[in-house]
Structure 1
Amino acid sequence: MARAVKKNQVPAVRRPEVRLPELLPFEDGVLESEGDYDALEFRELDFAGQEGRGARFMDCGLYAVALDETRLGRARFMDCVLEGVRGVGTQLAEVSLRDVEIVDARLGGTQMHGSVLERVVVRGGKIDYLNLRKSKLVDVLFEGCVLVEPDFGDAGLTRVEFRDCVLKGADFSGTTMRDVDLRTVAELGIARGVERLRGAVISPTQMLDLAPVFAAAMGVRVEGM
């Protein structure tokens, strides 16, 4: 039976349960569009500029892989671990991530607009200018990571928690939130869309810190006598 949620309690994120089988090393060297990759280990490989659009990764581990300008639009990752991946300008538009752990990633300008993330953990690392516009996030945990100017414009967030992470210059314009937990964010900076926080939970201290932003969004001027 599902555990009952007490009144005013934020429902917990349902975490992925990734148990990788014994993996075989990936030896082809080149990704393929619409390729099928099952139970493979991708370790310290350079996929910069390669095309893997529509590829399917199931029960795979990607470790210290370079993804600069790699084109993986509409790819599907299921029951996968991505650890230490790095890259600038990685194209992941309309990608599907289900039961995925992303650990210590170093990414910049990653394009993930129109994507679907379900039961995903992003732990550690730093991601600059992450584009998640018009994406759907369900049961997603951002933990101990740094997100610089992430764009959640027009996205739908359901049971999403930002735990012990840094959120700088976030754009929540047009975002729809349900059971989004921001209470333990170490640094919370919202550039746009503060009025879209309905459905989110923040701490009293965060409320005080965000008071000027809320006032500006409401057109209220705060001045001393």
Structure 2
Amino acid sequence: MEKPYHADHVFDKIDSLSLGEYEGCTFRNCLFESADFKNFQFVDCRFEDCNVSLAKLSGASFQKVYFQGCKMQGLRFEACNPFLFEVHFKKCVLNLCSFYQINGKGTSFEACTLQEVDFTEANFSEAKFDDCDLAGALFDRSNLEKADFRNAFNYRISPTINRLKKAKFSQDGLAGLLHDFGIEIS
């Protein structure tokens, strides 16, 4: 059975969505907390001021999807369909999310809260973490080459277990790189 196709629609203040393919759609002020997005497909879509915390993402496809002002706590992005996976975030709360083994090359995070987020074995090369709080975020065997952390804060990233070639950091953020070595910076 073929999934319904929706193109260029604006969905405002809804709390449920039927299984289907959504292309060029905008979702505003929607309450999708604990929603089941299993096998949904979102292409060139925008989520604005939505709550998608604890949504189930098994097999969900996110291709060039932008999230702005969204509450997105506890999401397991590794459950998504990896084919053409591309997401971008602005002013979102992504606490307790997992990007385990995700290919997030070039992903942008702008003014986001990313506390306790798991980036284990993920590829976030060329990603931008602009004005992001990374307190408690886990970077373990992650590819962060050419990533930009110059305006990020509260991160702890071990250079011995993560790939950091040509990654960008500010002088203020050096303590987050040297923490594992027991070096005190004042």
How far apart are the structure 2 equivalents of 1:212 and 1:59? 44
Judging changes above 3 Å, is the alpha-carbon distance between structure 1 residues 207 and 195 closer, same or farther for their aligned structure 2 residues?
farther
Comparing 86-95 with 63-72, greater Cα deviation is found at: 86-95
User: Equivalent residue for 2:94?
Assistant: 127
Q: Deviation digits for residues 187-206 of structure 1, max 9, x if unmatched? A: 22238887314233222221
Comparing 67-76 with 174-183, greater Cα deviation is found at: 67-76
Instruction: Please state if 1:98 is matched with 2:63.
Output: yes
* Superposed displacement of residue 44, structure 1: 0.4
Unaligned runs of 5+ in 2: none
TM-score normalised by L of structure 1: 0.70
Instruction: Please state if 1:110 is matched with 2:70.
Output: no
CA RMSD of aligned residues (A): 2.6
Q: Contact 1:39–1:58 (CA<8 Å) still a contact in 2? A: yes
Q: Deviation digits for residues 14-48 of structure 1, max 9, x if unmatched? A: xxxxxxxxxxxxxxxxxxx944221111110112x
User: Equivalent residue for 2:161?
Assistant: 195
Q: Contact 1:171–1:193 (CA<8 Å) still a contact in 2? A: no
Percent identity between matched residues is 19
Q: Contact 1:45–1:64 (CA<8 Å) still a contact in 2? A: yes
Matches within 5 A, 1:14-25: none
Judging changes above 3 Å, is the alpha-carbon distance between structure 1 residues 135 and 148 closer, same or farther for their aligned structure 2 residues?
same
Unaligned runs of 5+ in 1: 1-32, 216-220
Q: Which one of the candidate residues 76, 88, 94 is aligned to 2:53?
A: 88
Judging changes above 3 Å, is the alpha-carbon distance between structure 1 residues 74 and 194 closer, same or farther for their aligned structure 2 residues?
farther
Q: Which one of the candidate residues 13, 31, 44 is aligned to 2:13?
A: 44
Judging changes above 3 Å, is the alpha-carbon distance between structure 1 residues 114 and 138 closer, same or farther for their aligned structure 2 residues?
farther
Counterpart amino acid of residue 149 in structure 1:
E
* Superposed displacement of residue 175, structure 1: 1.5
Judging changes above 3 Å, is the alpha-carbon distance between structure 1 residues 107 and 155 closer, same or farther for their aligned structure 2 residues?
same
User: Equivalent residue for 1:12?
Assistant: none
Instruction: Please state if 1:71 is matched with 2:40.
Output: no
Count of aligned positions: 179
Greater Cα radius of gyration, structure 1 or 2: 1
How far apart are the structure 2 equivalents of 1:105 and 1:72? 16
Counterpart amino acid of residue 96 in structure 1:
S
Q: Which one of the candidate residues 102, 106, 111 is aligned to 1:139?
A: 106
How far apart are the structure 1 equivalents of 2:140 and 2:121? 6
How far apart are the structure 2 equivalents of 1:197 and 1:168? 20
